[in-house]
Structure 1
């Protein structure tokens, strides 16, 4: 199980980290707020990050949630109906496969306000998805929900805590990559980004 946890999340976590970088590079003010949060939570001189501090990086957490909403690494999930399921006027018979798409659920017109916008502040609300139980499913749902969810949050928040302390990121000539739909994990197509080392460096 441990091997599966570590290896199964390799491509999904790296892809989500990449997309998060592009969203932060596109919104420089948001990027600076995330950098300021590092100083506020960890200390002005940016000492080494501790595990217990990750939970206090609330803005970074919301940025990750919004990245997973707009760019879930996997577009479809398959489930088999064990009992008849009524959907509108149609009944799904037992044994039939049902396809669920996080990409579609995360952009439902009647569920998400400003559904196409990258807005981490929506998670400050008690109910950002208008009460829909399965409107946000980047890690699936039910008994087959991804066991690596908590590990992914720790991993990606650690990665971006480190990168934000060291570098400033910006898009190259405004280029924000399209989604590469030719692979199972939906990576950025032609990813290119500009980064410069920050003048103030964290403690070693």
Structure 2
């Protein structure tokens, strides 16, 4: 794998992309314009002149590693471009400094290696039960909307396993559409974070309404469980049993913030990534055929279990390649707290850098045929050759997602559970491009028809 940039190069000025040259592209298709800029910079540090803000765009693996790992204390999660997420997640594991450290220390045991086996065993059972509900539309030949169905499977699983079943069906029916509303309506604030809140943007009203519903529901849950969270090892119990440094009980606001952060990151991101999986398999029937053969020869007539995953290396490769093309967090920002040099460019305190796994994962100087869906990239012998930060779908450094192993197991179990029972065909338009928001959702609704395989529910190889 070749890399075009020499990170030890002498001082230089970043190539600046002026607003008057980029504004039409950003108005027409923001993602396409960012990709154009990334290709032109080819891994070098680029400066985006937005007029009101001039962040640096960082895509080269060496530079990403410097920001996220080697100088993580210099580049922190604050600043203009972090503001929309800071407002949503407050003082939680998605923040910075002592507040983040405390939240991570409290939540880490839920996702520990020791606890992971118990967690994923229960997750497999919950996923199988959620997939059972696909049998009726499959028998009747009714198409399903992929995003809502992936969201339903993920939410039912997460609520039962990570939240200890403490969220009732009525509350879930409020939280899930509200989270959907927040995730889709935040797009303009995410793209234009420097616009003051006093200036209305499209989606503001829907965002506020979704956030209000989530706040009401989460604060009701906090009130119900904070004094008696039970004996479980779920997120609710861990948060409610936490104590501050001086031994005080956590505030309702801190509990709400962490519940919001964990609900959003464990549901929205997973559902979105899995929605992209089916169009990719539709467009690559050779991958789909190999996947079905592996799954059905291993799972047979059984319901999928965690034990099956060890015998499904191609399933793992498919999920890894899915996350290369559509990483769960496609872009995020950092602000510099002291002077440093990045790729030969002087960075001053207060300068903002934007990191984009999506753009790094599509760099032609890093990846061969970067826009092609090719799970063979992640054969163990090939995966070992890549730069550590050529592929970072869950971020990196101290802030790397603590639930990444749970996500991988969940995605593999859902993919395996569905393809062990059903064949599929897309029945509507195949999405070609993502639209920018908090996550990369398809621009069009994805619809597919499932067909029970000949041997019956959960049956064997073709």
TM-score by length of 1: 0.86
User: Which of residues 292, 300, 309 in structure 2 aligns to 1:35?
Assistant: 292
Q: SS state of the match for residue 34, structure 1? A: helix
Q: Is contact 1:16-1:73 (8 Å) kept?
A: yes
Instruction: Evaluate the alpha carbon distance shift between residue 203 and residue 89 of structure 1 in structure 2; reply closer, same or farther with a 3 A threshold.
Output: closer
- Using the TM superposition, name which of 123-132 and 156-165 deviates more: 123-132
- Using the TM superposition, name which of 108-117 and 120-129 deviates more: 120-129
- Using the TM superposition, name which of 182-191 and 124-133 deviates more: 124-133
User: Which of residues 432, 437, 445 in structure 2 aligns to 1:191?
Assistant: 445
Q: SS state of the match for residue 9, structure 1? A: helix
User: Which of residues 102, 117, 120 in structure 1 aligns to 2:375?
Assistant: 120
Q: Which residue of 2 aligns with 1:104?
A: 359
Larger Rg: 2
Q: Is contact 1:26-1:170 (8 Å) kept?
A: no
Are 2:420 and 1:181 aligned? no
Q: Is contact 1:179-1:186 (8 Å) kept?
A: no
Q: SS state of the match for residue 176, structure 1? A: coil
Unmatched 5+ stretches in structure 2:
1-106, 108-234, 236-258
Cα distance per residue 1:117-145 (max 9 Å; x no partner): 10000111534486433111110000000
Q: Is contact 1:139-1:145 (8 Å) kept?
A: yes
Q: Is contact 1:28-1:170 (8 Å) kept?
A: no
Deviation at 1:82, TM superposition (A): 4.1
Q: SS state of the match for residue 195, structure 1? A: strand
Kindly report which structure 2 residues correspond to 1:2-13, keeping only aligned pairs within 5 A, or say none: 2=235, 3=259, 4-13=261-270
Q: How many residues align?
A: 201
Aligned-partner Cα distance in 1 for 2:262–2:271? 14
Aligned-partner Cα distance in 1 for 2:284–2:337? 45
Cα distance per residue 1:137-190 (max 9 Å; x no partner): 1100000001111111111111111111222223347x4203342421111121
Q: Which residue of 2 aligns with 1:155?
A: 410
Aligned-partner Cα distance in 1 for 2:264–2:362? 29
Q: Is contact 2:435-2:442 (8 Å) kept?
A: no
Q: Which residue of 2 aligns with 1:15?
A: 272
Q: Is contact 2:291-2:315 (8 Å) kept?
A: yes
Aligned-partner Cα distance in 1 for 2:446–2:264? 25
TM-score by length of 2: 0.40
Unmatched 5+ stretches in structure 1:
none
Are 2:342 and 1:94 aligned? no
